[in-house]
Amino acid sequence: MSGLRALAEFAARFDLAAAPKEVVQEGRRQLLDTVGVIIGGASVPEVRALAAIEARDPGPATFLGQDGWAAAEAAALVNATAGVWLDYDSGQRASGSHPAVHVVPAALAIAEEVGASGADLLSAVIVGCEVGARMGAAAGRLHPLLSPHGSWPVLGAAAAVARLLGFDGAQLAATLEVASSLTLLTSTGLHTAGANGRHLQAGLGAQRGIVAARLQAAGVTGDPEGCQQVFGRLVTPTFNTRRLTIDLGRQWEFLRGYYKPYACARVTHAAIDALLAIRRQRAALGIHAEDVVAIEVATFAAAAALADPHPTSELAARFSLPYILAATWVRGDAGPASFATTIRRHPAVRRLAERIRLREDPEYTALTPEYRPAAVSVQFRDGTSLTVERLNASGEPDDPLLPLWLEEKFDGLVAPVLGRERAQHLRQQLLQVEQVPTVAELTTLAIPPRP
């Protein structure tokens, strides 16, 4: 597959010093945001239990946000699982995939293992995210029942690891060929059912990126047409090989990604933006939930399908548009705290969720994946109504979150785990990561201080 080989050569030869400023800046932001969501999810009991299991085999790689170390494969598994637990990680609109949460945990673990510098880590994150994003762009639209986690982003993780291990272009291409046979084929049913085993998809994806590089170094070979076979025939009939290399080095696919302002399914975010705009307009007249007669939402098919008003778990709540909008109206935000058990059981939230109706607008569906629109109409007891339409959610390149907002998001996730002073120090180091002598200096800061 010549496109894959050309992409591998590009990743192996990438020169951070010669890279465009915006590419380097985006690499730092991807690293910052992903480390933040990893540490934010590290305190979850299930993540801690997984870390306790994986820590049985000692190693040099850190469980971020925890006091523990393990082999690189184990750390990547735990950290990537933590990184998706809050559903707050960055992604790619065109493919619906999440390269960074696969790439960063794998790259961090191997960087610790080999004693890499911050500049080495940043280079690996950039090429890994670009490979993962281009694989997703080539795959295009997935079948709606197939999850993107653990699928083509595995190749991004493998590219990042191969880069840190010093592989040349041929070795990196061979690693991607091996990785194409190690991807997962999993169902989105886990999301809507609220089964938190879904989070392991990203964890296993990051881990398999490392395994692919190890196997290639040991002499294991893969199918040169593996990506075309797996993604072009089994997963999606629209796989476009040209997207792997088109304008390579001139147009950066990973720059077209998004950051999440809300800790829930990305397909719900345009509706949240619209509802918050209405809430701000209505604030002067009162925003009590009982003043709302009904909320009508017109949106695209994938969002309209998330219609259960009473989700029974935290994860299911993150994939329930009626619940998300009800909690957002009552609380004024859709951050991680909005999905706690106490909020899911809140009487006002439950009653309002029952007054929310969703419908698919075929014209909106036709606009995806370039746009993910929603129009929200709120009817009030005083007889008035307000409607707001959003073609896309905030956090996209055409409506970016301010750098300060991303820093505040990081601090909000990390300070409760590490303490404010350490969180701020880690943030500062990540934003100038290429100046950090060794990655171990970063990961040391990501360990909670002992009492």
pLDDT value for 184 = 84
Give the DSSP letter string of 398-411: TBPPPHHHHHHHHH
pLDDT value for 450 = 80
The residues with which 297 forms a beta bridge, in sequence order, are 358, 376
Residues 6+ apart with CB under 8 A from 245: 3, 6, 7, 10, 134
Is the pLDDT reported for residue 1 higher than 60?
no
pLDDT value for 142 = 67
* Terminal alpha carbon distance of the chain: 54
Q: Are 83 and 108 in contact (CB under 8 A)?
A: no
Is the pLDDT reported for residue 233 higher than 70?
no
pLDDT digits (tens, 9 = 90+) for 187-202: 777 777 778 888 999 9
pLDDT value for 31 = 98
Q: Which domains does the chain have, with CATH numbers?
A: 2-260+401-445 (1.10.4100.10), 266-390 (3.30.1330.120)
Query: Can you tell me the mean pLDDT for 9-24?
Result: 97
Is the pLDDT reported for residue 419 higher than 60?
yes
Q: Are 34 and 257 in contact (CB under 8 A)?
A: no
pLDDT digits (tens, 9 = 90+) for 395-414: 999 899 989 999 999 999 99
pLDDT value for 377 = 98
pLDDT-based confidence at residue 232 (cuts at 50, 70, 90): low
**Listed range (29-43, 180-194, 256-270) with the worst mean pLDDT:** 180-194
Instruction: Compute and round to an integer the Cα radius of gyration of the chain.
Output: 21
pTM: 0.96
pLDDT value for 316 = 94
Tokens of 265: 């399914």
pLDDT value for 223 = 85
Tokens of 428: 């500062």
pLDDT value for 285 = 86
Query: Can you tell me the mean pLDDT for 137-152?
Result: 77
pLDDT digits (tens, 9 = 90+) for 148-158: 788 889 999 99
406: Cα within 13 Å, side-chain hemisphere:
26
Mean pLDDT (the chain) is 93
Output the CA torsion sign for 122, 86, 63, 146: negative
Our measurement of the distance from residue 129's CA atom to the centroid of its chain's CA atoms, rounded to an integer in Å, reads 11
226 vs 269 pLDDT, higher one: 269
Q: Are 293 and 380 in contact (CB under 8 A)?
A: yes
pLDDT-based confidence at residue 266 (cuts at 50, 70, 90): very high
pLDDT digits (tens, 9 = 90+) for 328-372: 999 999 999 999 999 999 999 999 999 999 999 999 999 988 899
Give the DSSP letter string of 40-65: HHTTSHHHHHHHHHHTTS--SEE-TT
Query: Can you tell me the mean pLDDT for 214-243?
Result: 80
Query: Can you tell me the mean pLDDT for 152-175?
Result: 96
Share of the chain above pLDDT 70, in %: 97
pLDDT digits (tens, 9 = 90+) for 314-332: 999 999 999 999 999 999 9
Give the residue among 38, 86, 89 at the shortest CA–CA distance from 63: 38
pLDDT value for 242 = 84
pLDDT value for 102 = 98
What is the C-alpha separation between 17 and 27, in angstroms, rounded? Answer: 13
4 vs 2 pLDDT, higher one: 4
186 vs 387 pLDDT, higher one: 387
